[in-house]
């Protein structure tokens, strides 16, 4: 940034701090956004050999930090298991969960928390070792079979619900943590493994014998995954929600990491002008400056770029995660 831009950004932050809620105020005071993430799920949040996190959830945290604090680097990632995540959020150990967490009524109404929106549409799937179980083609073929499942997840309950509704008998073999569950399945301790379809894709992408496994065709649940925040800060909630919409709108409008700065100056499209702050007070209404979305997009790209960078290498199709006008469910609310 130029010196003048830095000064303006500082003034906006100082003015907004006076009206910030407890979480947003804490983020600004410490100068760091603290994100609870997965302990290691390829495509979503996983550390590389040097300890740097990458994934679609990580990119969301980077975009949010860029919007609020002016830099995508001002994030601290806290790896959490499924069992740990809600306690960590409730206690204030993290500012939000960006940890492939399913939005459902119980979590939205009983944990003192709220979801900013849907960041990724998923669904529960099953995988088997096709060499060991060549006759298993559908879920009905798993009747009386053992199934590896991670405890503390919606996956565990969905498995029981599906079995009861379809008069099947599964033998759940429960483990804590996705890594432990995957290793147990790969070691042959269960006939099948069930988790989100994206999680199965992530596991298979890392296996040299990928062809030995078969993903069954049924998807037994809706798993809308999104950032989860404490229900104590409407200002932070609004920024978290509209960051999702801004990144989706950027894709819809053809605004990319490479061209966002230029389009802010040259675009005659009213939607792009509002998105980039050229002709809009969206940033001010969020307690931010006009360039908040430009910084977010500059940091990680639009939603399509984020998906292609992190999820596409897993062999996972866009499907419902495509934009609404391209056959998907992603529908950014209008910026005005």
> Which whole number is the average pLDDT over 90-109?
96
User: Rounded to 5 degrees, what are φ and ψ at 98?
Assistant: -115, 70
Question: Which pTM value belongs to this model?
Answer: 0.92
- The fraction of the chain above a pLDDT of 70, given in percent, is 94
Give the Cα separation of 165 and 241 in Å (integer): 35
Spelled out in words, what is the top-level CATH class assigned to the domain 124-221? alpha beta
Give the Cα separation of 322 and 316 in Å (integer): 12
Asked if the model's pLDDT at residue 213 lies above 50, the reply is yes
Domain residue spans in the chain? Answer: 3-121+225-326, 124-221
pLDDT given at position 49: 86
pLDDT given at position 280: 82
> Which whole number is the average pLDDT over 144-150?
97
Query: How many C-beta atoms surround the C-beta of residue 56 within 10 A?
Result: 24
Give the Cα separation of 336 and 110 in Å (integer): 33
Q: Residue 184 — pLDDT band, cuts 50, 70, 90?
A: very high
Q: Are the beta carbons of 100 and 80 closer than 8 angstroms?
A: no
> Which whole number is the average pLDDT over 71-83?
96
Q: Residue 281 — pLDDT band, cuts 50, 70, 90?
A: confident
Q: Residue 152 — pLDDT band, cuts 50, 70, 90?
A: confident
Q: What's the whole-number average pLDDT of the chain?
A: 94
124-221 has the same fold as 3-121+225-326:
yes
> Which whole number is the average pLDDT over 238-242?
98
pLDDT given at position 332: 98
pLDDT given at position 6: 52
Give the Cα separation of 122 and 153 in Å (integer): 14
Q: Are the beta carbons of 250 and 260 closer than 8 angstroms?
A: yes
pLDDT given at position 180: 95
CATH T-level topology, domain 3-121+225-326: D-Maltodextrin-Binding Protein; domain 2 (3.40.190)
Residue 183 gets which letter from DSSP? Answer: H
- The fraction of the chain above a pLDDT of 90, given in percent, is 91
pLDDT given at position 18: 47
User: Rounded to 5 degrees, what are φ and ψ at 41?
Assistant: -130, 110
pLDDT digits (tens, 9 = 90+) for 3-55: 555 555 555 555 444 467 999 999 999 999 999 999 999 999 999 888 999 99
């Amino acid at each position: 940034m130029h010196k003048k831009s830095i000064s303006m950004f500082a003034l906006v932050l100082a003015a907004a701090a006076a009206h910030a809620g407890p979480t947003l105020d804490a983020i600004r005071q410490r100068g760091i956004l603290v994100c609870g993430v997965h302990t290691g799920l390829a495509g979503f949040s996983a550390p590389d050999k040097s300890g740097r996190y990458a994934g679609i959830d990580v990119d969301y945290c980077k975009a949010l930090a860029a919007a609020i604090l002016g830099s995508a680097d001002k994030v601290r990632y806290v790896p959490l298991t499924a069992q740990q995540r809600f306690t960590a959020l409730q206690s204030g150990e993290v500012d939000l969960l960006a940890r492939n967490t399913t939005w459902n009524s119980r979590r939205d109404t009983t944990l003192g928390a709220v979801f900013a929106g849907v960041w990724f549409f998923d669904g529960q799937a099953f995988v088997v070792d096709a060499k060991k179980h060549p006759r298993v083609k559908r879920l009905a073929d798993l009747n009386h079979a053992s199934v590896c499942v991670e405890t503390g997840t919606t996956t565990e309950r969905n498995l029981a619900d599906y079995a009861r509704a379809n008069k099947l008998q599964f033998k759940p073999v429960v483990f804590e943590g996705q890594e432990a569950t995957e290793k147990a399945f790969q070691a042959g301790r269960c006939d099948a493994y069930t988790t989100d379809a994206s999680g199965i894709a992530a596991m298979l992408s890392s296996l040299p014998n990928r062809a030995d496994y078969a993903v069954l065709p049924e998807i037994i649940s809706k798993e809308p995954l999104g950032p989860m925040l404490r229900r104590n800060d409407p200002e932070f909630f609004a920024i978290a929600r509209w960051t999702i919409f801004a990144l989706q709108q950027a894709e819809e409008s053809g605004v990319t990491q490479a061209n966002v700065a230029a389009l802010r100056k040259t675009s005659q499209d009213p939607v792009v002008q509002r998105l980039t702050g050229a002709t809009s007070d969206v940033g001010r209404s969020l307690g931010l400056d006009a360039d908040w979305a430009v910084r977010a997009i500059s940091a990680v790209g639009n939603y399509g770029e984020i998906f292609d960078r992190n999820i596409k290498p897993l062999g996972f199709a866009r499907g419902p995660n495509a934009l609404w006008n391209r056959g998907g469910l992603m529908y950014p609310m209008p910026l005005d």
